[in-house]
Amino acid sequence: MGNDESFNVHHIFSKNNILIVENLTNLKKISSKEFNFTILPLKLKDATGSPVRAIAS
């Protein structure tokens, strides 16, 4: 989408403890407008990101 190779928005969110969850798939399978969304990231030392298991229930 954008051309910001320094990921400025990501850095702003991170400094303000705002979690970014992106690249989710199969969202059309969620049939309700209201649902619980749980993300389970891997605990990686000194990492700036992690793959997650995302669950909608």
For residue range 29-55, what is the model confidence (pLDDT) as tens digits?
A: 999 999 999 999 999 998 878 899 999
30 in a structural domain: yes
14 in a structural domain: no
d(CA 35, CA 12): 28
Tokens 């400094």 found at: 15
Q: Which domain holds residue 28?
A: 23-57
1 in a structural domain: no
SS3 46: coil
d(CA 17, CA 52): 17
Are the C-beta atoms of 56 and 30 separated by less than 8 Å?
yes
18 in a structural domain: no
List pLDDT tens digits, range 6-28.
Answer: 888 888 998 998 989 999 999 99
Are the C-beta atoms of 24 and 54 separated by less than 8 Å?
yes
54 in a structural domain: yes
User: pTM here?
Assistant: 0.64
29 in a structural domain: yes
10 in a structural domain: no
